[in-house]
Structure 1
């Protein structure tokens, strides 16, 4: 297979997987069938496209192939009588829509995967698999479980959908608010997987996932009643996604290493996304000023990102405002990663020692998280404790799963050469000059 054909298949899989699976699931009411036949269609493409060439409309080719394979499967399985008859009725109705007409099928699939009948970890895993197109191995890595364990978890979730008769449909309007929290949480996790992919050897960033998460969040927001708490949460999440995605073009260097926020080329940021995100943040803040509730978690996170996006230069960042927002978030969310991110902001406004003192209080809860060791390493390096910083970098590299992040950490650790002599006038090594740490809780 030529590299061009392989690249085309990879691109079509990223762009079309969710749409194909969603369309088949709606037509046949069977998620297993939809997923298996979609996979077989891509396997057929791997066999045929090298000889036949990439078709003019690859997405339509995959859709039609998957649809025909599903019909063939049902013909062979006479035991599935009612579905067998339905399949022929669908087949007689003509070829499946190739574009546009099934656009909302992906949103239906998200609500199906996020049904309250499923536990939250199953909702997330299932949505990552059938909407995000991640492999079972990638999802298992993200959840820190064995691949066989994750495969069983996904199988149980799909079996639950079948046994409970969960429909492949949007909930009724009156049911939307009760379902919104779970759906938004899963969409945020899908976005995060695209923002910094876990265990991906070739794609440290997954713009297909971040783009799909943004698209679906827009649709969910439009479905929710204006003025409702759920609509405000969706607005905050959309703003957060837009402001974060705006930096995508500057987040990875040409040699594949993550680029810290303060070192990014801000001219490469997407101003249209930033302007839209800032407008949404302003509307949220104005609503709070009118007495319409308080900022929720997504709105606070989007406000933090708005501070970064509004700074023309790193030194213009309003760290006092960021600390205040993280303090608000701490009161809503007891996640220690929030406190870790606040510690970084404190180190910027006050001193590395002040930030390190906060980080030290999180050791018991975050020792197994690479962001804790990364932050500790960077702060230690700023105050000249290079040997301790090197040990912390080693632990961070061991725990990190993203290729771009590992490359960044290796680079940072390499600048801590113990053999470099100190400046006789100051006693400080060149490698110990102040640098700003990066954590998962802080945008990059």
Structure 2
């Protein structure tokens, strides 16, 4: 059953609608919320922000950090998206059968693939005390291989209509298909990010691509890309992963003093205690 909070948000956010004769029975409110938040009348940025806020329950500050915008800008985006839903009369429902293929196949299946892949390594993401374990250091025997196989089947059904979420799922699949971190096909991941950057340009995509290039072509190449990103985007003042990644690349290059400075920056910006503990450990190791 959906939580009381979800029911309250649904009531406060959306106008009442008449029962849909084509409804698929007693569909969970959460599914109705997802389809409403992801209505094609909304821009993709608004869909993402509204889904993260309404369905996933993230705060505007958390969403702003994830999407690299300021919190006031995110507040305005959410208000705009809710107003568009109200004024456009977008119904709070699962789409009727004749609209389901275009709404489901292009978004929900790709998003499902991405979510399944992220869920597949849940057991390996943190250690026994709750500290962060990076993808490179995770125990891959803890990954859910059945979920990974299911996702690969979904991805095959999506090609060539992958879209944003399909590409992200394909990137995640490249990581999860590798038997160990050293066997990851980072060159292929960089190519997928090239395509993603065309259809969904953002600093996050560019930063992720730089990391993939660093892992396939060397930390020096990746660091040059990241430095160029800082110059063009100016995101280092509020995005903790940027100095964290720079610190890791500098450490791999043996430039430990510079790495320490970047780890200290990342530590100050990290949003959670688990991430602060992880960065603190890396900082201590680099100082030795």
In the superposition, relative to structure 1, how do residues 318 and 126 fare at CA in structure 2: closer, same or farther (>3 Å)? closer
**Alpha-carbon distance in structure 2 between the residues aligned to 1:154 and 1:235:** 25
Shift of 1:383: 1.2
SS of the aligned residue for 2:188 comes to helix
Per the alignment, residue 275 of structure 1 pairs with: 149
Q: Distance in 2 between matches of 1:375 and 1:254?
A: 25
Q: What is the deviation of 1:398?
A: 2.2
1:316 and 2:183 aligned: yes
Residue of structure 2 equivalent to 1:110: 34
What secondary structure, in the 3-state scheme, does the structure 1 residue paired with 2:56 have?
coil
CA distance in 1, matches of 2:220, 2:134: 21
Cα distance in structure 2, aligned partners of 1:129 and 1:164: 20
User: Which of residues 348, 356, 362 in structure 1 aligns to 2:229?
Assistant: 362
Structure 1 residues 243 and 278, CA, compared in 2 at 3 Å: closer, same or farther? Answer: same
Q: Kindly provide the CA deviation profile for residues 127-173 of structure 1, in whole angstroms up to 9, marking residues without a partner as x.
A: 44543345xxx333433436xx95x9877876776676554333445
Q: Which stretch has the larger CA shift, 319-328 or 389-398? A: 319-328
> Offset of 1:264 from its aligned partner?
0.3
CA distance in 2, matches of 1:158, 1:317: 41
**Residue 113 to residue 232, structure 1, CA distance change in 2 (3 Å):** closer
d(CA) in 2 for partners of 1:163, 1:324: 41
Q: In 2 relative to 1, CA 244–163 (structure 1 residues): closer, same or farther, beyond 3 Å? A: closer
Distance of aligned partners of 1:297 and 1:153 in 2 relative to their CA distance in 1, 3 Å threshold: closer
Measure how far apart 1:323 and its partner are: 2.4
1:309-354 deviation line (CA, Å, top 9, x unaligned): 1111222222222222222323333223223222222222222212
What does 1:19-34 correspond to in 2, within 5 Å? Answer: 19-20=3-4, 30-31=11-12
How far apart are 1:263 and its partner, in Å? 0.6
TM-score (norm 2): 0.77
Instruction: Mark the CA change 1:115 to 1:352 in structure 2 (over 3 Å): closer, same or farther.
Output: closer
User: Separation in 1 of the partners of 2:209 and 2:43?
Assistant: 31
The Cα shift of 1:269 comes to 0.7
Select 1:256's aligned residue among 112, 130, 133.
Answer: 130
Give 1:131's aligned residue.
Answer: 55
Question: How is 1:189-268 mapped onto 2 (pairs within 5 angstroms)?
Answer: 224-225=100-101, 231-268=105-142
The reply to whether residue 404 of structure 1 matches residue 274 of structure 2 is yes
TM-score when normalising by structure 1: 0.52
Q: Cα RMSD between the aligned structures?
A: 3.4
Structure 2 counterpart SS, 1:394: helix
Does the 8 Å contact 1:252/1:404 carry over to 2?
A: no
Count of matched residue positions in the alignment of Structure 1 and Structure 2:
270
1:103 Cα shift?
Answer: 4.0
Displacement of 1:117 in angstroms is 6.9
Structure 2 residue corresponding to 1:384, chosen from 254, 270, 279: 254
Distance in 2 (CA, whole Å) between partners of 1:121 and 1:322 is 23
TM-superposition CA deviations, 1:75-102 (whole Å, max 9, x none): xxxxxxxx9xxxxxxxxxxxxxxxxx74
Identify if the C-alpha distance between structure 1 residues 140 and 360 changes in structure 2 by more than 3 Å, giving closer, same or farther: closer
Aligned-partner Cα distance in 2 for 1:388–1:25: 47
Kept in 1, the 8 Å contact 2:95–2:103? The answer is: no
Q: Distance in 1 between matches of 2:213 and 2:45?
A: 33
Largest Rg, 1 or 2? 1
Q: Please report how far the alpha carbon of residue 414 of structure 1 lies from its aligned counterpart in structure 2 after TM superposition.
A: 1.2
Question: Cα 1:229–1:24, aligned 2, differ >3 Å: closer, same or farther?
Answer: closer
Distance of aligned partners of 1:414 and 1:25 in 2 relative to their CA distance in 1, 3 Å threshold: closer
